[in-house]
Copies of this chain bind each other. A is one copy, B any other.
Amino acid sequence: MSRINKRIKVKNELARQIMGEILGTFVLLLFGCAAAAQVKTSRETKGQFLSVNLAFSIGVMCAMYLCRAVSGAHINPAVSLSFCVLGDLAWIKLLPYSLAQILGAYLASGLVYLIYHDAIMEFSGGVLTVFGPNETASIFATYPTDVVSVQTSFLDQVVGTAMLMLCILPLNDKRNAPAPEALLPPIVATVVLGISMSMSANCGAAINPARDLGPRLFTFTAGWGKEVFTSYDYFFWIPLVAPMVGGVLGSIIYLVFIQWHLPEPEDEPESGEFKEQTKVMEQNNKKDELYHKISSL
C-alpha cells in the first residue's frame, strides 16, 4: 500500500500545486454558482441574495482548508499575482496557477449546469440568454447593471480586489497581530463575505478573474452564445484586468501604510505563548552546553 502510494504520489511540486488550485477553485465555484442557481431558479424561495454571498464565502473557507497545504489556496489569479509581487510566489508559476484556477472554475460551472439542468430549463423556458427576466447567464459569470459606466465598473473591481488583499495580508503577517493560522480560512471567508455584501451591486464582485472567466467560457461553450462576451459593451475584460490591478494596489497599500512601519520580528518581544516556549528552548540550549561540559569531564 505504502509503496503503491509512493509511486502514485506526484513528485513534481508544480504539478501538485496545479492540482490543488484546480480542485480549490472547483470547490469555490461549485458552492458559489450552485447557490446562484438555487436562488435564481427557485425565484428566491430557496434563498436570497445573501445566500449567494454566504455560499461563495463558505466556498472560500472549504477551498482553503482543502488545498492551502498543497498550493497556498490562492484560487484567484489576482491573489497569485499579488503574491508574485510580494515575492511569495515565483513569477514562473503565475501563468500555470491562473490557468489551473480558470480550469477549476470551468469544470465547476459544468457540474453546476448538470445538477441544475432541469431547473435552468424550466426557469428559462429552454432558452439560454444573457438578457431579460429569464436570463440564466448571471448564475455563472458576473454582469454589470444597466446604469454603471465602464470607468465605474473598473474602479469598482479595483477597489473590491484591493480591499481583499489589504484585509487578507495582515491576517497572516507575523509582524502584525495575525489571526490564528488554523482559522485563516473562515476569517478570509468573512472578508470575502463583507466585500460581496458591500461591493457587488455594480457588477457582481468577481474580484477574481478565474471566478469570472471560467464560468463565462463555460456558458459560451454550453449554449449561451457569444453574448456572454459581447454584452454590456464587452464588459468581460473588466473582471479580468481590474482585479489584477486592484490586488497589486491593495498589497502595496498594505506594505506602504502598515507593514513597513511594523517592528521587525527580532526587535520586539513575541506574543505570549511562543515567547514562553522560546525561553524554555533557550534555557534548554544553555543546559545542553552544560551537559556537554559535564559529560566531557
Chain A residues in the interface with B (C-beta under 8 A): 5, 8-10, 16, 19-20, 23, 27, 30-32, 34-35, 37-38, 41-42, 45-51, 54-55, 58-59, 61-62, 65-70, 111, 114-119, 121-122, 145, 147-149, 152, 155-156, 159, 163, 166-167, 170-171, 175-183, 185-187, 190-191, 193-195, 197-202, 253-254, 256-258, 260-262, 271-274, 276-281, 283-288, 290-291, 293-295
Q: How far is the CA of A219 from the CA of B200 in the complex (A)?
A: 22
* Contact status A20-B258, CB under 8 Å: yes
* Contact status B290-A291, CB under 8 Å: yes
| Chain B residues positioned under 8 Å from A295 (CB to CB) | 290, 293-294
* Contact status B286-A287, CB under 8 Å: no
Q: How far is the CA of A91 from the CA of B280 in the complex (A)?
A: 38
Q: How far is the CA of A27 from the CA of B281 in the complex (A)?
A: 39
Q: How far is the CA of A66 from the CA of B45 in the complex (A)?
A: 33
A230 to chain B, nearest CB (A): 21
| Chain B residues positioned under 8 Å from A37 (CB to CB) | 198, 201
| Chain B residues positioned under 8 Å from A253 (CB to CB) | 23
* Contact status B197-A163, CB under 8 Å: no
Interface of A is mostly: helix
| Chain B residues positioned under 8 Å from A262 (CB to CB) | 69-70
Name A87's closest neighbour in chain B (CB-CB): B1
Q: How far is the CA of A132 from the CA of B176 in the complex (A)?
A: 45
* Contact status A149-B118, CB under 8 Å: yes
Q: Which of B46, B119, B159, B177 contacts A65 (CB 8 A)?
A: B177
Q: Which of B69, B159, B277, B293 contacts A111 (CB 8 A)?
A: B159
Q: Which of B62, B69, B159, B256 contacts A176 (CB 8 A)?
A: B69
* Contact status B258-A198, CB under 8 Å: no
* Contact status B190-A41, CB under 8 Å: no
Provide a sorted-by-A list of 28 A–B residue pairs whose CB atoms are within 8 angstroms: A8-B260, A9-B260, A9-B261, A23-B257, A27-B166, A30-B159, A31-B198, A46-B49, A47-B49, A47-B197, A54-B194, A62-B163, A65-B176, A65-B179, A66-B254, A69-B170, A69-B176, A114-B152, A117-B152, A119-B201, A119-B202, A121-B147, A178-B182, A273-B273, A276-B278, A280-B281, A283-B288, A286-B288
